[in-house]
A and B are shown apart, each in its own frame.
Chain A
Amino acid sequence: RKEVEQDPGPFNVPEGATVAFNCTYSNSASQSFFWYRQDCRKEPKLLMSVYSSGNEDGRFTAQLNRASQYISLLIRDSKLSDSATYLCVVNNPPNNFNKFYFGSGTKLNVKP
């Protein structure tokens, strides 16, 4: 079983739509969770960290469900510029808290 699993998509949505992605992880001891954004042929960049209580940054909301071992990302009022691949990232204790595993990414296409 993969450490981190995501639906590869693509998710094709119109501008203004709300879209949600889920990501499941296998290591119940994981402590750090992130969503990264990757544009085509570019390096990943941090979109947001995911906290136990959930957190929001503008149009983006991230949630963590430890009991079911998944994290989610909700994007409201989608913009054309949101088109990208969204990567779920989880760390892998207890061996090393800075050993991270990436999901294979979920591709989002926002259409006019």
Chain B
Amino acid sequence: NAGVTQTPKFQVLKTGQSMTLQCAQDMNHEYMSWYRQDPGMGLRLIHYSVGAGITDQGEVPNGYNVSRSTTEDFPLRLLSAAPSQTSVYFCASTPGWGGEQYFGPGTRLTVT
């Protein structure tokens, strides 16, 4: 099993550009989440999904969209990148109720 994979590993965007961060898992986990991590702030939940077709907002959803058309994939879309979105983005999946989260390696995004 590859576990949770994320692409790209690094990305530089200009203000106003859009892009999609990809996340996939091959463990058949129902629950997936996106977090951003900024220095001194810990991980903050952006959006999460409890299954295909079901998503909900986390703490910091503004400027991001998600969809979940399959169990395996949970892409995160930045609609119009802003410098405040410079961060490290982690995707995670969870096999069951309130359980351990498995994280991808992260995407380091810089918006100039």
Contacts and interface: CB of A to CB of B under 8 A. Distances in A.
Interface in B26-85: 31, 33, 35, 40-45, 48, 50, 56, 58-59
A104 B41 contact: yes
Contacts of A14: none
B45 A100 contact: yes
Given A99-B58, A100-B33, A44 B103 contact: yes
Interface of B: 31, 33, 35, 40-45, 48, 50, 56, 58-59, 90, 94, 97-101, 103-106
A102 B44 contact: yes
A91 B101 CA distance: 11
A105 B104 CA distance: 19
25 contacts: A8-B40, A31-B98, A32-B98, A32-B99, A34-B100, A43-B103, A43-B105, A44-B43, A44-B103, A46-B101, A49-B100, A87-B42, A89-B101, A96-B50, A98-B31, A98-B48, A98-B50, A98-B94, A98-B97, A99-B48, A99-B56, A99-B58, A100-B33, A100-B101, A103-B42
Interface of A: 4, 6, 8, 31-32, 34, 42-46, 49, 87, 89, 91, 96-105
Contacts of A34: 100
Most buried by A among B43, B50, B105: B43
A98 B42 CA distance: 18
Contacts of B56: 96, 99
Most buried by B among A8, A43, A100: A43
A105 B106 CA distance: 17
B100 to A, nearest CB: 5
A34 B35 CA distance: 17
Nearest to A34: B100
Nearest to A103: B42
